[in-house]
Amino acid sequence: MNKSIESLYEAILESDKVLIFTGAGISTLSGIPDFRGVKGVYRQKWHGLEVEEILSLPCFLQHPEYFYEWAQTFVYGLENYQPNIVHKTIAAWEKADLIYRTYTQNIDILHQHAGSRRLYELHGSPAHHYCLSCRKYYSYNDIAPIVQSGNCPRCECGSIIKPQIVFYGEQLDQDLLEQAFSDFDAADLAIVLGSSLTVNPAALLPQYTLHGGGKLAIINSQATTLDKYATWKFDDLQKTFEQLAALSAEYPTAAE
């Protein structure tokens, strides 16, 4: 039996170490297409290829133009999207010291725009780019106009420029992953938001909280493999966070 939203907020207030884990589902509230829903990005094809292949390292190295064409709107049109109530509430909780850290699978930079600072991007960020040959650095603002104009960016040395995101076939940052496993193992409460928990190893993180004796809350429109272990499970992110935000405004926080 699921607990109430009020009891989840009470647990946030009472816990010493609360971690947030976010996936693509939270960004759909900002208008960004999701990945694994009924109309998700992964259900579409591009140049006759599955999106997972477009996002694989071998495909990128052979056809970087495929990725940049696909990413023109989703990755390089981020100025068209704004943080939503979930991003803003997480940032407010961080400022009030109600949560310890946020780990995200997302690459849309919306957490930063909302004000989150103790944020760790498990799959990297398009805020940073590097030439694969000479290692010259390029910012998002350097690359986005080129991609938006329909061109594939190239370094002045002529080589491929790659965003600092983790493609299929690449390993996650191992130091960051070890930190995350340690954090989740020590957490009193882990809150999963908008993730189907299908992409490992990041999706394993909430299990560490359970193994460490902590509690788990899941707010996601689709079922996950950990639903039966969650103390709280809600399906509607928007409605749940409207109530959580109202509770945050109504009751004193740890910082007050």
Listed range (150-159, 230-239, 246-255) with the worst mean pLDDT: 246-255
C-alpha dihedral, 96 to 100 to 103 to 109, nearest 10°: 30
Percentage of the chain lying above the pLDDT 70 cut: 91
Q: Please check the confidence at residue 74 and state whether its pLDDT lies above 90.
A: no
| Whole-structure pTM value | 0.90
Query: Annotated catalytic, 113?
Result: no
Comma-separated ranges of CATH 3.40.50.1220 domains in the chain: 1-31+83-123+172-256
pLDDT band at 1 (very low <50, low <70, confident <90, very high): very low
Bridge partners of 20? 102, 191
Which of 3.40.50.1220, 3.40.50.720, 3.20.20.80, 3.90.1150.10 would CATH assign to domain 1-31+83-123+172-256? 3.40.50.1220
Catalytic-labelled residue, pool 87, 111, 123, 129: 123
What's the rounded mean pLDDT across residues 115-124?
A: 97
Bridge partners of 162? 130
Distance spanning both ends of the chain, measured CA to CA? 32
The token pair that represents 181 in the structure block: 């496993």
So what's the pLDDT on residue 2?
40
What's the rounded mean pLDDT across residues 137-166?
A: 97
Encode 109-125: b = buried (16+ Cβ within 10 Å), e = exposed.
Answer: bbbbbbebeebbbbbbb
Encode 153-167: b = buried (16+ Cβ within 10 Å), e = exposed.
Answer: bebeeeebbbbbbbb
Comma-separated ranges of CATH 3.30.1600.10 domains in the chain: 33-80+125-165
Tens-digit pLDDT profile for residues 21-50: 999 999 999 998 765 554 555 556 667 888
Q: Please check the confidence at residue 227 and state whether its pLDDT lies above 50.
A: yes
So what's the pLDDT on residue 149?
96
So what's the pLDDT on residue 43?
53
What's the rounded mean pLDDT across residues 123-141?
A: 97
The token pair that represents 206 in the structure block: 């909430």
Superfamily covering domain 33-80+125-165:
SIR2/SIRT2 'Small Domain' (3.30.1600.10)
